[in-house]
Amino acid sequence: MADQKSQTLRASDAGPPKFELPSLPYGLDALIPVLSAETLTIHYGKHHARYVETLNQLLVSENYATETLESVVRTAHATNAQKLFNNAAQAWNHAFFWESMSPIQSRPGCSLADAINTSFGGLEALGERFITEGTGHFASGWVWLVVRERKLDVISTHDAGCPILEDGLTPLLACDVWEHAYYIDYRQNRAQWLMLWWEKLANWTFAQTQYDTVLNHGEPWCYPASRPHIK
């Protein structure tokens, strides 16, 4: 008991980590014409940055000691710390979303293409399923391509819902269907946003890498660790 208590105190004394806003994998104007620089500037520089800022404030105020953002998301959800969960999960979801897009169009690799054919009957059918799921999702949230026990599926989550909460579920791609993600460029036309996102921006190189970690029992994408601060 004494050892456990001392470990808790050491964790507390060490203080919570300061999570940073990760850099975008591309320039603010790289996704034109699907996404404008104005949308990325506001979505990344305002919305995502605010989630990270609020997350760090909550970690300090609640004296929360942890090592990774993934552990914060899971622990906050398990303990019903709703405000902490919302900001931690949204920080994670957005960082994964940026990785899910690329200005360079790609195709699924052989193993992922085979899995898509097995689960959906082909990439076109998967696209229809993905767009339908996102368009039909009520209110704010996310649409995901995921793999569970090597079988692909399309799911949506509400608000800050995050697929890493489910054991054995690995996200491959994510598209943001919160209105602020697309309203400047598409107004209320979520279906057009999803269609163009799927056709022009979906990062199949990233999805293949995620899928490979499942096949090889590797470590999937994690939120970037903070860089050490030099005093």
Does the structure show a pLDDT above 60 at 7?
no
Does the structure show a pLDDT above 80 at 216?
yes
176 known member of a binding site: yes
Q: Does residue 163 have a cis bond before it (omega within 30 degrees)?
A: no
Does the structure show a pLDDT above 50 at 6?
no
Q: Dig out the tokens for 72 from the structure.
A: 């914060």
180 known member of a binding site: yes
- CATH architecture for residues 110-215: 3-Layer(bab) Sandwich (3.55)
43 known member of a binding site: yes
Distance CA 155, CA 137 (A): 10
pLDDT band with cut points at 50, 70 and 90 for residue 100: very high
Distance CA 46, CA 65 (A): 26
**Average pLDDT of the segment spanning 193-208:** 98
The residues spanned by each domain of the chain are: 110-215
Span 115-172, pLDDT tens digits = 999 999 999 999 999 999 999 999 999 999 999 988 999 999 999 999 999 999 999 9
63 Rama class: left (phi>0) / alpha (psi -120 to 50) / beta: left
pTM to 2 decimals? 0.92
Strands (E), the chain: 141-148, 151-158, 169-176
